[in-house]
Amino acid sequence: MNLQPSSAAIEKVMFLYKFIRTPKTIGSVTPSSRFLTGKMIDSIPWNEVQSVAELGAGTGVVTRAIEQAVQPGTQVLIFERDPHLRHPLKQRHKDFSVHSDACSLYSKVQEQGLNGLDCVISGLPFANFPQKIRDDIMEQIVKSLKPGGLFVAFQYSLQMRNQLKSYFDIETIQFVLLNVPPAFVYVCRKK
């Protein structure tokens, strides 16, 4: 009998540990469920995406789904501030460009030689951030997206709705009950 913990169990323990230590930056006690991840990934027309960024990758649950969904040759940028979470992302996703600060999104897009992103996916806990940081990150996202680009984000409340409406056309807001905690998935298009 194998009593070794699974990688999913290890991820959950690491996520809980990080949440307890820094709840303002992690935002949840457990990684996103497959239901939440599925809602986010399924809302993106992957055959039209040549460049995508993920903000707040955490343990890489959504990152793995992105890896399964992207077309060959798609450029993927991953952002995770926590070095203990970022390092394994670099190891597992060697074809992706992994960075530490979502506030440097636009400069990293430029460094990659891209003329903009087709899509930005976010797991950042915006409600936990001071307004200035929210504004800075939103400006980076808008500046980095191509005209008509998609912004797909999950949040645990509707608090960001008005701010998102000022930057994007909100196409849908979907409620995902089967997640801890339940979440809202915003699918927005750059005006």
- pLDDT 10s digits, 149-164: 999 999 999 999 999 9
The lowest-confidence range among 9-18, 32-41, 54-63, 124-133 is: 9-18
Average pLDDT over residues 101-116: 97
In a domain, 19, yes or no: no
First to last CA, the chain: 56
When computed from its CA atoms, the radius of gyration of the chain, rounded to whole angstroms, is: 16
In a domain, 67, yes or no: yes
In a domain, 3, yes or no: no
Residues 6+ apart with CB under 8 A from 106: 140, 143, 144
Residue 27 — pLDDT band, cuts 50, 70, 90?
A: very low
Instruction: Give how many domains the chain has, as a whole number.
Output: 1
Please give the pLDDT value at position 176. 97
Cβ–Cβ under 8 Å, residues 69 and 41: yes
E strand map for 93-167: 97-99, 117-122, 145-155
Averaged pLDDT score across all residues of the chain = 89
In a domain, 2, yes or no: no
Kindly report the CATH number assigned to the domain that includes residue 164.
3.40.50.150
Domain range enclosing 136: 28-190
In a domain, 16, yes or no: no
Model confidence, pTM = 0.86
Please give the pLDDT value at position 28. 47
CA within 13 Å, CB half, 58: 31
Of 58, 89, 52, the closest CA to residue 74 belongs to 52
The lowest-confidence range among 4-13, 55-64, 100-109 is: 4-13
- DSSP 8-state symbol, 96: S
